[in-house]
Chains A and B, each alone.
Chain A
Amino acid sequence: MTEYVDAGRAVGQASLSGLAGIAPPVVQDVTYERILQARSEPQNWLTYYGTYDGQRYSPLDQINTENVKRLAPAWVFQSGSAGLHAGPSTYSFEAAPIVVDGIMFVSGWDGFVWAIDGRTGQELWRYKHAIPYDTSLCCGNVNRGVAVAKGKVFVVTLNAHVIALDATNGELVWDVTYGDVRAGESATVAPLVVKDMVVVGSSGGEFGVRGHLDAFELDTGRHVWRCYTVPKPGERGSETWPDGPAWTRGGGNCWVTGTFDPELNLMYWGTGNPAPDFDGGIREGDNLYTDSVIAVDPDNGEIRWHYQYNPHDLWDYDSTMEHILFELDGRKLLAHFDKNGYFFVLDRTNGELVRVSPFVDRITWGEIDPNGKVTPKIYPEKEGEEVHFWPGPAGGKEWTHAAYSPRTQLCYVPVQDVGASVTRRRREFKESIPYWGASVTVDSDDMAGSVSAFDPSNGNEVWRWRNDVPMCGSVLATGGDLVFAGEPTGEFNAFDARTGELLWQFQTGCGHHSSPTTYSIDGRQYLAVPLGWGAWVEGFLPGMLGAPHGDALFAFALPQE
């Protein structure tokens, strides 16, 4: 028998790419103290929303209402991927790029993390987590971004690990499993660094799991605490669940990053829908703490107060979306645009309702009066009987984020005006099997969208830029009095923050479903926006299910002379 030719040893695929392999040690000095003061270094985007207050506002003002018409692409990063990956038909590029001293850290679908030169777009290093093809994904193969601190990049994986990478070379430092893929748990949230911990939430409410938040030590990955969002019998809030197993499958996942007030030492995390989404008959009661904001003590994971936006949700109105922290007349408040179509302002010291008003035109599911009293009107009540309501399960606004400008004192929100038909179909619970309790068809015509500006001091709409499809990308506000928002049809837009006038537009070739960020290097301001249309399109815009996925990240800047 002849000897085999020696094929050697398999090598990392990244070594067959043009990447540099190494990034400067910019994250070494990113401390909790620096993240606390993130607004004082506007050249960087240090944490998911830019700052702990969730405003998605940057004071950078080189690009302004006068010169924005000259904005042009500076570079484009393209990823793509070889071979099959999980959720091939539903992957999407949804992350918010983090930038530290000129180096960008961003995550993609299917376990990708990249370090990119923020000036040139060159790939510096790449990490790729191996994701099981058969992971339960209700809403696509997506990841919303990384957190950075103390020399490390933190990211969650679709199979519910939280990992820490060395920020200079992308090598794994620690890897901890915090969710059960066999139970239908997964993870897509951008982690939040608070003090010496990294805090993450779980996904999987659509599979009847029990939602939780977890904190891990930055240095070691040691588990510090877990906070369940559905109480078990005997715990506070358990009286809002019926006797029996409903609480064990209650949902309430925190799959969008929370905000943090260091003075009050409280984090504000939104919680997802109860499970099953639409069949309330088997979970009578308010179903705490689903569809709520929970104010969580970061030191021990205890819930200090809560406010429930949708008691006994029958419409899949997760309330996971951002809670923007702002001050008004010396009062510490938070603003939240809920999927149910209402704009809430709460006192963030105690959860007291300050005001509530609608932010989308068509709301038929029910009504919330100025005192916060919720009156359901249309919901899937009878087995097999179809009902139609607005907003549909994607909500008046999906997970993508609103912004707040301290200069204009306005909130800017991407609005989805789309309804759905829902028929209750009771089903038996089985672990890892989708647990919705209904058949759902989202409207694919007669829909609209807008970027709308709201005054949180009175709940009034100040301006609206109308679109004929829902707006499904996060909004960014800047010190140049600009508001940026991408369209599902690929346009990236800049609006005048005071009037809503469209000042600039660039066709990127793919729908926007991510969170643009801004940064500057050597005095040149850039706007970074990941492009990738996908994920739960059937839920928020089925009329565009046939649009291309895309996998590029654009950086824009003013031309250099």
Chain B
Amino acid sequence: MRPMATAEDLSALVSKLGLDKQNKATLGRLIAHGNLGYAEEGADGRMHAQIRIPPDELVWDPAILVLPHGGDLDLEIFNDDQNTHCALFPSNGDSQFIWLPIHSRGTAALNLGGPGYYWYSSPIGNDEGRGLIGAIVVLGDVPQQARLDRPDQPRP
């Protein structure tokens, strides 16, 4: 019997097996298996971040984008790949769509309302199945006035 991977060595094992590359162990890469990056907060309270699609990898880089809290995010998107892709991002009001020609740069303004994580992807061809799917993680708590009137409770 093979040993199970722990969370710590999962990345290494996935990489060794070729599950994080195009057309190695699998046809594409495992969902959301890529880098992690942070959004930065400007003086005006808006957050900003860059994400890219590197050549021949079919992955968002970072695939996991971490926001310190909910609010407005200005995103700069680069398609460094030699194929056309697009992006569909979650945002309050309406999901935001952008077409990304080969070697292009675009922007998106997103508003996300609170803690949790949200998916984004490139919904053309089977970009999503091959790896172009990512998560935006919003840290923090809901506003104080929305919390329950009770003593602090144990968390997992």
Tell me, in angstroms, the Cα distance from A212 to B97 when the chains sit together.
37
Report if B45 contacts A (CB, 8 A).
Answer: no
Q: Are A228 and B94 in touch, CB under 8 angstroms? A: no
Tell me, in angstroms, the Cα distance from A209 to B150 when the chains sit together.
9
Q: Are B92 and A130 in touch, CB under 8 angstroms? A: yes
Report if A178 contacts B (CB, 8 A).
Answer: yes
Q: Are B102 and A5 in touch, CB under 8 angstroms? A: yes
Q: Are B155 and A432 in touch, CB under 8 angstroms? A: yes
Q: Are A10 and B114 in touch, CB under 8 angstroms? A: no
Report if A383 contacts B (CB, 8 A).
Answer: no
Q: Are A16 and B154 in touch, CB under 8 angstroms? A: no
Q: Are A7 and B96 in touch, CB under 8 angstroms? A: no
- Least Cβ distance of A160 to chain B in Å? 7
Number of contact residues on A: which range applies? 35 or more
Tell me, in angstroms, the Cα distance from A209 to B91 when the chains sit together.
28
Report if A18 contacts B (CB, 8 A).
Answer: no
Within 8 Å by CB of B103, from A4, A185, A209, lies A4
Tell me, in angstroms, the Cα distance from A434 to B90 when the chains sit together.
27
Q: Are B93 and A182 in touch, CB under 8 angstroms? A: no
Q: Are A431 and B154 in touch, CB under 8 angstroms? A: yes
Tell me, in angstroms, the Cα distance from A430 to B101 when the chains sit together.
47
Within 8 Å by CB of A6, from B95, B106, B123, B156, lies B106
Report if A328 contacts B (CB, 8 A).
Answer: no
- Least Cβ distance of B86 to chain A in Å? 9
Which residue of chain B has the shortest Cβ distance to A245 in the bound complex?
B151
Report if B60 contacts A (CB, 8 A).
Answer: no
Within 8 Å by CB of A9, from B91, B107, B123, lies B107
Residues of chain B at interface, number, CB under 8 A: 57
Which chain A residues border B148 with CB–CB below 8 Å?
A: 180, 183, 185, 209-210, 212, 248
Tell me, in angstroms, the Cα distance from A135 to B108 when the chains sit together.
24
Taken residue by residue from 106 to 128, chain B's Cβ proximity to chain A (1 for < 8 Å, 0 otherwise) reads as: 11111111111111110100001
Q: Are A10 and B113 in touch, CB under 8 angstroms? A: no
Q: Are A132 and B97 in touch, CB under 8 angstroms? A: no
Which residue of chain A has the shortest Cβ distance to B101 in the bound complex?
A5
Taken residue by residue from 67 to 83, chain B's Cβ proximity to chain A (1 for < 8 Å, 0 otherwise) reads as: 00000000001110000
Which residue of chain B has the shortest Cβ distance to A111 in the bound complex?
B92
Report if B47 contacts A (CB, 8 A).
Answer: no
- Least Cβ distance of A427 to chain B in Å? 12
Tell me, in angstroms, the Cα distance from A431 to B97 when the chains sit together.
36
Q: Are B142 and A182 in touch, CB under 8 angstroms? A: yes
Q: Are A7 and B104 in touch, CB under 8 angstroms? A: yes
Q: Which of B30-58 contact A (CB under 8 A)?
A: none
Report if B65 contacts A (CB, 8 A).
Answer: no
Report if A2 contacts B (CB, 8 A).
Answer: yes
Tell me, in angstroms, the Cα distance from A10 to B96 when the chains sit together.
6
Which chain B residues border A245 with CB–CB below 8 Å?
A: 151, 153
Q: Are A181 and B116 in touch, CB under 8 angstroms? A: yes
Q: Evaluate whether A82 and B123 lie within 8 angstroms (CB atoms) in the complex, with A177-B142, A181-B116, A228-B149 already known.
A: yes
Q: Are B149 and A13 in touch, CB under 8 angstroms? A: no
Tell me, in angstroms, the Cα distance from A173 to B108 when the chains sit together.
21
Q: Which of A218-256 contact B (CB under 8 A)?
A: 223, 228, 232, 245, 248-249
- Least Cβ distance of B4 to chain A in Å? 24
Tell me, in angstroms, the Cα distance from A172 to B91 when the chains sit together.
12
- Least Cβ distance of A419 to chain B in Å? 32
Which chain B residues border A160 with CB–CB below 8 Å?
A: 142, 146
Which chain A residues border B14 with CB–CB below 8 Å?
A: none
From A7, A16, A82, A159, residue with most partner B Cβ within 10 Å: A7
Q: Are B115 and A132 in touch, CB under 8 angstroms? A: yes
Tell me, in angstroms, the Cα distance from A40 to B7 when the chains sit together.
63
Q: Evaluate whether A16 and B97 lie within 8 angstroms (CB atoms) in the complex, with A159-B114, A161-B113 already known.
A: yes
Q: Evaluate whether A179 and B146 lie within 8 angstroms (CB atoms) in the complex, with A4-B105, A129-B113 already known.
A: yes
- Least Cβ distance of A241 to chain B in Å? 12
Tell me, in angstroms, the Cα distance from A519 to B153 when the chains sit together.
48
Which chain A residues border B116 with CB–CB below 8 Å?
A: 132-135, 159, 181
Which chain A residues border B115 with CB–CB below 8 Å?
A: 132, 181-182
Which chain B residues border A378 with CB–CB below 8 Å?
A: none
- Least Cβ distance of A110 to chain B in Å? 10
Which chain A residues border B77 with CB–CB below 8 Å?
A: 7, 10
Which chain B residues border A172 with CB–CB below 8 Å?
A: 92-93
Which residue of chain B has the shortest Cβ distance to A128 in the bound complex?
B94
A-B contact pairs, 9 of them (CB 8 A): A5-B103, A7-B105, A9-B107, A10-B97, A12-B97, A84-B119, A130-B95, A133-B135, A175-B92
Sorted from nearest, which 8 A-B pairs have the closest CB atoms?
A132-B116, A7-B106, A10-B108, A12-B94, A4-B105, A130-B90, A10-B98, A10-B96
Question: 9 extra interchain contacts, Cβ-Cβ under 8 A, other than A4-B78, A10-B96?
Answer: A5-B103, A9-B107, A10-B98, A12-B95, A83-B95, A161-B113, A177-B142, A228-B149, A433-B156
